[in-house]
A = this chain, B = another copy of it.
Amino acid sequence: MKKKCVVLLSGGLDSSTCLAVAKAAGFDCYTLSIDYGQRHLAELNASAKIAESLTDNQHQVVHIDLNSIGGSALTDKNIEVPDHDDIEDEIPITYVPARNTIFLSTALAYAEVVDADAIYIGVTAVDYSGYPDCRPEYIEAFETMANLATKAGVEGQKLKIITPLIDLSKAQIIQLGDSHGFDYGQTVSCYNANAEGEACGVCDSCYHRKKGFSEAGITDPTRYIN
């Protein structure tokens, strides 16, 4: 029987590459999107399509209304998403409080339910834009905690948190996905993407995406407005 994994899938470039890598590694993949009231709903629509094309299991979406506690331009409608050129601080305003911790915790719950051996998450410490919860030491600490938290862990079944992109640049991530034949035309990264999945071309996420395709020497299939 195939080993099972949960893949956190946002519909963006990184998490979609993660799914392609998990599938190539022989895992039976259970995809999970977290809808935490973010503005880029286009990503969630993309994730459902990507999951359908790469897995046999039903894609799951868990809604978490982080809006009620606020604190980020991505979830708080009173804060403007800044353009890449306006970002100066080490930890940007687009940081969502405890985002990866909430994502991984929800994935942990799902991993218990489907009896998965691993959770894939597409964090990267290279182009990480100053998010503390993208560092290897954070991921290791989460894995340790996760194995103390669950029935499976108590019974000796070790759960792995797998981060195949953690040492890769955006360009290397794109090359990795491309090597598995993944079509990036399905993915949406833009913080301001419209309902049709078109990207603004000026936000921090678009900046890193454009730069990544350029450095990878791969044609960028993204539909940019700017």
The CB with the most chain B CB atoms within 10 A, among A95, A112, A145, is that of: A145
Contact call B149/A98, Cβ cutoff below 8 A: yes
Task: State A133–B142 Cα separation when bound (angstroms).
Answer: 14
Q: When each residue 94-125 of chain A gets 1 if its CB lies under 8 Å from chain B and 0 otherwise, what string results? A: 01111111101110111011000000000000
Give which listed residue, B109, B144, B148, contacts A102 with CB less than 8 A.
Answer: B109
Residue A66 is within 8 A (CB to CB) of chain B in the complex: yes
Residues of B within 8 A of A149 (CB): 98, 100-101, 132-133, 138, 141-142
Q: Is the CB of A63 within 8 A of B60?
A: no
A70 in contact (CB, < 8 A): yes
- Given A62-B64, A65-B62, A153-B132, A109:B71 Cβ within 8 A: yes
Mostly, the A contact residues are helix
| Range of interface residues on A (Cβ < 8 Å) | 35 or more
Distance of A151 Cα from B138 Cα, bound (Å): 12
Contacts of A104 in B (CB 8 A): 105
Flag if B112 contacts A132 (CB, 8 Å): no
**B68 & A65 in contact (Cβ 8 Å cutoff):** no
Contact B138 A145 (CB under 8 A): yes
List 8 A-B residue pairs with CB atoms under 8 Å apart, sorted by A's residue number: A66-B109, A71-B109, A71-B112, A97-B150, A98-B150, A102-B105, A132-B154, A135-B148
